[in-house]
Amino acid sequence: MELTVLYPHTKSKFIAKYLLYQHKIKWIKIGEKIPEAPLLVTAGGDGTIHYAVNRINLDKTKLLVLPLGRGNAFARIFNLPIGLLSDKDILTGQELEVQLLEVNNRLAIFATGMGKGGEVMHYANPYSQFGFPSYILSTLKSIQTTPAYSFTINNNLYPDLLTVEISLWGMAGYGLPFTNSSTIGPYLTMIKGNPLMAAFKFLLGQFPDWEGAKTIKGEAFTLKTEEEINAHIDGENFLTRYLEVKLSPKKVNIIKPQVSLFTNS
């Protein structure tokens, strides 16, 4: 089977070449135009999937995800496997129809936010090839900067927040939970208090039961700040004063292979 594979850097291409050694491959690096194809393999993390869904025709192209990124939140949420893939593994795979978020007229696969979460991405992204440790180091750096922000959320003022995260499935990077609910959102989580404590609670997956984090479910959320601060969409960092988030009517079809030699579960 001939496959079109989207990859972000040499490391992910090297691993994907091994996992897909049985196939003829057309390699597309992020930044290059993605050709039309019935199936696109994303060999990277959440940012690579985000890049793809914003550039392909979702009615004509399905995705097969090789979770080769740092956090792989999307793959963890849907328990997508990673392993050596044959034609049969792909052709007999389960097809998942996955809802998307819309953030400032862009599609998002699982989450967006402003504040400390965006700062962490800002400091981590230049070192993405080092994997998950880049998040640990960037978190330690982030807690030494601006202690809190004031947000206007759906026209209500909320001062002294560390970060505001909006998640489609109630989960953040690395698949860590913001809520105990398993239904589709979007969910908005406001986080306040000691930044070091917040970091530990997050990494231990204890946000749902922590008094410093409040999560609510809604149909749409608007976030505003007085000045530009760090924000992210699916882990991709940028500066903004404004986020408008809602459930998108668009969906992406994901092929979940039935067989692999090893999984990330």
Helices (H), the chain: 10-19, 46-53, 73-77, 87-91, 116-124, 133-142, 195-203
> What is the tens place of the pLDDT at every residue in 43-80?
999 999 999 999 999 999 999 999 998 889 999 999 99
Between CA 223 and CA 240 the distance in angstroms is 10
* Residue range 2-100+250-256, CATH number: 3.40.50.10330
- pLDDT attached to residue 265: 36
pLDDT < 50 regions, the chain = 260-265
- Rounded distance, CA 231 to CA 243, Å? 9
Q: Which CATH class is domain 108-248?
A: mainly beta
Task: Say what the pLDDT of residue 61 is.
Answer: 98
* Residue 213 C-alpha from the chain's centroid: 20
Q: Which residues of the chain are in CATH 2.60.200.40 domains?
A: 108-248
pLDDT of residue 71: 81
Domain limits, CATH 3.40.50.10330, in the chain:
2-100+250-256
Integer Cα distance of 44 and 63 in angstroms: 12
